[in-house]
Structure formats: structure tokens, C-alpha cells
Structure 1
């Protein structure tokens, strides 16, 4: 009964169960030689006390079976691995703690279990945010928590060694704290905790710097605005500066938290790409081992493309928006085409695709249906600022459907507002018909964007649903 009286605890448990089941089913799964391999290398190095290094000699020997890549050519190569600034430090540090506690032999299973617990916090956080934004309808908060508890891609997310496992709950906690706002009696405490959360989010994925002005503005609106902002910014600087100094010592010049920005720009503006993830481009920069040199070269190439093809660069912003809010199909298409699940019949594949894709389709169609209703109540301005801020850098640099996962809880809350506040927005549309047409136009735009995306990849979809689809071996 005590748990039932605390909805947050209840939703944590309900969200944890399917995630733990997924971790148990995948307990013997390995990892791919992609981002997951890089995070594993960094975590193993940290856990072994060797520092933030990757591509130790044994890792190089492994990856050279598949790629023409030889970091040993770097003049400062150490058999223990190269010191790197390519990745932000918090997620590898989290994995390193898990590895030290569980041992290296079963590290993947231990990481997946730990990530199941961490990502399960998204459900109670979503419940709290929905309770705050839709106070008139308590059931809306429970519905929102139920959706994120069972959302297919969020349930399976802990199986991957991916930053989203930390970034999603941390960024949602930061939004919830921003939404709460400074307490009139203890604004400095609020500012301090906001600063700590901001540091953790920044050092997990540096793209979250877009949230900094939003949280700072929230601090400025407190009763003691000057001191509150000062404390918040002081905590952020104190938390991030040591890592920036470490990177400066490594490269001899100032660089950002992670030097993957140029790499992302290079892929996003690759001449043969379309603005989204382009697998061949991901391997073209391997000949530059030094992170800072690679970052500078990649940025130079990207800006050269923008200057030479400004119209095409502008078109790619729209393509990235389409990809960012696109169907979550790339991961499952890749996994099925590798033969991991064997051969499925066409009806079984269709049912699985509907189960996988329907939640996001439903959430987005509901969320955009009522977008013209701007005056929903207190807090929705912060919601809008957060969603726009996180969408913008992906539209400008690089986008993939997986990247919208951090917004799924907030989109779920908006969808629940549409469902549970129907009497309010329908009455408003009866007085202003343009709102109804604008909402339906947004839904139609989404459907057209998804249709164009599927049409552009139709050849591979046909192969996937064919008798040999399970061994098509698509690129990720």
C-alpha cells in the first residue's frame, strides 16, 4: 500500500520490469563494432586505471579484421591506447563503475541491468512532468507514464551501450527541475542542483549546451535573480572546466567537451549524403588519428561544402527535420537483416513492424494535432523552448530518428494533453476553425514526410520482407 500511495515509485517498478526482462533475454548478446565498441573501450580503460583511452593494441587487432584502420601510426601511440577527446566522459565513467563492480567477464549483462534501473526513472519523471503540465487531469499523468514504461524502443534501449541510457533520464530530470523553478525561500539550493544536473547532462552529450540559456533564464526569473544565475553558472563552469583543461592539455589548444562535432558536420554535409547519417562517410576520416586534427579537417570540409552549395545545404535542414522526427526503423531493419532473429514470415514481420512503429506514430499525430493551442497553461512555454532547442542543432548538423528519443517523454505529455483536454481544445476550435485546419495540416505533413521516407527506402524494405531479408546484411 505504501508504494501505491507514491505513484512515482509505482511507475518506476512497472517500467523496470520490462527493461529487466529485456536485459535477461539479451544476457548473452555481444555488441557491435560501432559506438558501443568505443564506449566499451573507454570504460575498460577507465576501469583498469589507464585513463580515458581507446584503441589499445588488442582492440586494434580486433577491429583491423573489418576496417583498414591503424592508429599505431600516431607518433604518440601507446599500446595501452590513445588518449582521446572524441567522446564526452560521463557515460564511459558510468560503464567503468559497473565494470569494476561486476567484473569484465559479464560486463555487458551487468551494464544492461544497470541501465534498466537508470532508464526506468524516465517513467516517474514523465509522470511528474505531466502532473505539472496537466494538473486538471490526474489520469493524464498516469497515461503518460504508462506509455513511456512500455514504449518499445525505450524498453530495449538498455540493451545498447549508448549515451541515451544516461542522457534521457538526466535531461528529463533537468527539464523537470527547470519546470519546477526556484523556491522563493531557497533559490540558491535550486540553482546549485540545476548546475549539477546541467554539468552531468553536458558531460554526457555536449549538444545539451542548447539547454543552458533556458535554465539560466529560469534562474533569472527567480526572486533573487542575480545570485541565482551566478550560482547556477558558477557550478556549471566549475563542473565543466576541469574536462576542458584536460582536453587543452591533450591537444595544446582549447577544444570543446567532445571533438565529435566536426565528424558530425562532415557526415551531415557530405557531398554524396543527404544530410542524415551516411555510413561510408563515417569511415572516411579514419586516416586522421588525432582527434583535434580530425575535428578541424572535418569542419573545414563541411564549411567548404556549405559555401559551394548553399541551396543544397539549406535543403538538408528540411531533410534532417524529416529524419529527426522520422520512423524508428533503421535499428530494427539493421538487426533483422543481420540474421539475429532468423527468418520470419511476411505477416509476422508486418505485425512486428506495426508494434514497433505505431507508438511513435500515434504520439506524434496526437502531439501535433493541437499545436495551435499555445495557451495551454503554466509551464508549456518551457516545454516548447526545450523541444525547439533540442531539435535545432540536429536540424543544422546531423539527424537520425534515434536522436528524438530524448524528446519522447515530452512528446508523450503533449499527446496526453490532446487526449485528456479534448473538451477544451475542441471548444476553442469551434470558435476559431483555423486551429483545427492547422492541426490537421500538421498531421498531414507528418504522414507525407513518413511516406516519402519509406518510398525513398522502398527497395530495401522489399528486400527485407522477402525470403532472404533476414540475411540481407544492411549497413547500419
Structure 2
């Protein structure tokens, strides 16, 4: 007499039901958005005045909004620092008036766009609604991302701009999408001049993600060139303006040589160190115009690298640590520009410490997720290369830049939404694994 085992579908675990609820219930998504926007709106209640870089951008935007042009503090035409952020902010100032409150509200709109892009890119790259929502939630409560919203710095605007351009490339279905991506990448280049590096990275990922490699290469190469050409055409009017007003062909700005020198000189530590004597002396040289000083700084930096290759290589790991190890630098702006900082300094520092711990957890998840994804795709018989590599490509961009120039934790700000969406995917993978109910040993009857 033979015995048969009748297996009934096991009842989902409580954790599995909660995960299904998290991924499907509209109220969950509404709640995440409420947290995301409420925290960023609340930080706008803090009075923080622009200082240092933020003050420069703020004053340039006010000058442009008043129809005075892009002028330095002495009232002369300048190309110092990329103009994209002041140009965009000047349009907002022209419409709504010049104030720090307007800056905060504009950044809040940009942050909302970044959140939406984190959600849609999380769905697209990882094929999971739960992962996309988890990524948005991780970004929603990330203190450093919240802290930047009231500041007149480039980061919030640039991150939204970069993510929009990347989304268009990933989701494109028509050649006009390439043109619009090129325009956005061009304007992003006017905000951060090294942005063009991202374009070949994206098309390389697209090329490698599926076969046939040789057959797909010509089309993708042509598409990449089109995006680069449109980006260059978007930057060109500014370049022509520089030649007309300054008498030099300056592609974007005149701070590239200065920035290169601050990261590569005898007293460099791997961080951006503008107080170095060699830099101050160069900037104070009489008889040199802005473009010539920048060219001289670039020449000094290149000569120093050529004469000190060992020292240049020695600085590389220090630059990487400066870029990726610390976080929470938004606090510096409050320390310098928030009138009530001294009264509640302990609260600011506590948030800074909490943020640092949270940041390190995100980065650990980001690193682990790479290997987990590769292992899962290989186990499933899939090509391990795919669009999911985009966050790592975006992270590679500031890494390569900092190795040549200098490391600042501020430079990794645009990468963090991508880190959050990747960490969100890993968290859902782990929770899904924990939710699996092991079948009980069969009973014979």
C-alpha cells in the first residue's frame, strides 16, 4: 500500500503579508511622500543666510535677475565658477523676488522631483515596487539630504537635473528623447563642468547589458555622440559670451585650474584646501586677468603632478576617503549662517552624528548590493550586466574626478538618491528572504 503526501500551499507569514501591503497599498506610498515632503518643508523654518559658495551663487543670481549680467563682486564680467545654478535661480528671483525663502521653496520643488525620480528609477532599474518605495523612504529620512534644502548651493538643483537627464536616457523610446537629454546634460554641465563624463558611462552600460554587442555598438555610439553634441551646443552660447566679454575662449568657468591646484600642491592633504599659500599668492598676482590666473594655476598643478608623481599617487586614497567617508557637511552652512546655531549646537551635532551612522549603513548596503545582485542574476541565468549598474556608474563619476582634483564629501551628494534606491532593493531582498516559511516535514498517513 503506497502512501501519498498531499501538500497544501503554506499560509504566507506575517512578514510576507506586511511586505505585500508595503508594496501595494496606496496609503503606504502616500505616507512615505508625506514624510519626505514634511521633513523638507520643516527645515525651511530655519533661518540660514547664504555664506561662502552659497553667498556667491546667491549674489550672482540676484545680479542676473536685476539685468546686470554675470558680474564678480567688483562689478566686472566674470566666468568664475559655473553659471548654471545662478542662471536658473535668477529666473526664479525674477518671477518671485530675491530672498532666501524663494531659494528654499525652489529647492523644495527640486527635492520633490528628485524623490519622484528615485521612485520611478527604482522601479525601472530593479523591477520592484517594494524596492522603489523602500528607496524613497530611505531618502526621505536622510538628514543630510534634508539639510541642504534651504541652502543656496548647487546640490539640490543639480541632483534633480542630473537624475532627469539619466531617466530620459534609460527610458528613451525616440530620438527626440536624446535631444532633450542632451539639453539637460548641457545645462547640468553649466552647473558642474565635469557632468559630460556621465554620458559615455550611461551608454557603456546600455551597450554591455545585452547582446549582440557588435551589432548594437554603431547605433548606441551614434546616439551617445548626438547627446554629447546637443550638450555641447547648449553650453556654446555661454562659451561665446566668455570670449566676447572676457577676451578668452573659456568653455564653462575659470575655476578649473584653481580647483586642480588646491588638490595638487606641496601642502595638499587630499581635501579642498584653498588657504594654501601657493594658491593665495597666485590669486593675488597683479597684472593677470581672471582667465590667465586660472591658466597659470592649471599649469602649476600639472607641473607639480609631473614633478611629484609619487606624491600625487599618495594623495589618491586620501582624496577617496575625503569624498566617501564623511557626511553631514550641510551642518557647516548652519554653523556659519544660522543665527541660533550656538544656542542649540548640541542638537545640530547630535543630528550630524546620527546622519553619519545612517550614511555609513547606506554605503555598506550599497557595496553589498552589488555582489548580491551579481550572484542572483547569475543564479537565474541572466546576464549580470544591466541598467541596475547605473547607480554605480553615477558613483564612479565623482570618484574619478576627485582622484584628479580633490575630495569633498559634498561631491557625493548627487549620488545619494541612487545609493538609497539600491539600498532599498537590498533591504527588500533581505526581508523577502526572512519572510519565507520553511515547509514542515511531511507527515505520512
Structure 2 gap segments, 5+ residues each: 1-24, 208-215, 378-383, 435-445
Quote the residue 2:126 is aligned against: 134
**Aligned counterparts, 1:103-252, within 5 A:** 103-104=97-98, 107-135=99-127, 137-180=128-171, 182-183=172-173, 186=174, 188-215=175-202, 217=204, 221=216, 225=220, 228-229=223-224, 231-252=226-247
Matched, 1:98 2:89: no
- Note if contact 2:147-2:331 (Cα within 8 Å) is conserved in structure 1: no
Shift of residue 235, structure 1, vs aligned partner: 2.1
- Note if contact 1:88-1:258 (Cα within 8 Å) is conserved in structure 2: yes
- 2: distance between equivalents of 1:172 and 1:121? 9
Structure with larger RCO (C-alpha < 8 A, sep 6+): 2
Quote the residue 2:9 is aligned against: none
Quote the residue 2:18 is aligned against: none
Shift of residue 331, structure 1, vs aligned partner: 4.5
Quote the residue 2:301 is aligned against: 302
Cα RMSD for the two superposed structures:
3.0
- Note if contact 2:271-2:408 (Cα within 8 Å) is conserved in structure 1: yes
Aligned pair in 2 of structure 1 residues 293, 236: CA closer, same or farther (>3 Å)? same
- 2: distance between equivalents of 1:262 and 1:420? 45
1:17 to 32, 38, 44: 38
- Cα deviations by residue, 1:30-70 (Å, 9 ceiling, x for unpaired): 221x11121122112111111111214xxxxxxxxxxxxxx
Shift of residue 400, structure 1, vs aligned partner: 0.6
Structure 1 gap segments, 5+ residues each: 57-80, 427-476
TM-score where L is the length of structure 1: 0.73
Aligned pair in 2 of structure 1 residues 345, 373: CA closer, same or farther (>3 Å)? closer
- Cα deviations by residue, 1:413-432 (Å, 9 ceiling, x for unpaired): 22223222238999xxxxxx
Quote the residue 1:430 is aligned against: none
**Aligned counterparts, 1:332-343, within 5 A:** 332=331, 335-336=334-335, 340-343=340-343
- Note if contact 1:9-1:124 (Cα within 8 Å) is conserved in structure 2: no
- Note if contact 1:55-1:82 (Cα within 8 Å) is conserved in structure 2: yes
Quote the residue 1:36 is aligned against: 54
Matched, 1:45 2:40: no
- 2: distance between equivalents of 1:253 and 1:225? 35
- 2: distance between equivalents of 1:225 and 1:134? 22
Q: How many positions carry a matched residue from both structures?
A: 388
- Note if contact 1:327-1:401 (Cα within 8 Å) is conserved in structure 2: yes
- 1: distance between equivalents of 2:294 and 2:259? 9
Most deviating of 247-256 and 88-97: 247-256
TM-score where L is the length of structure 2: 0.78
Shift of residue 138, structure 1, vs aligned partner: 2.0
Shift of residue 330, structure 1, vs aligned partner: 4.5
Shift of residue 155, structure 1, vs aligned partner: 0.9
Shift of residue 328, structure 1, vs aligned partner: 1.5
Larger radius of gyration: 2
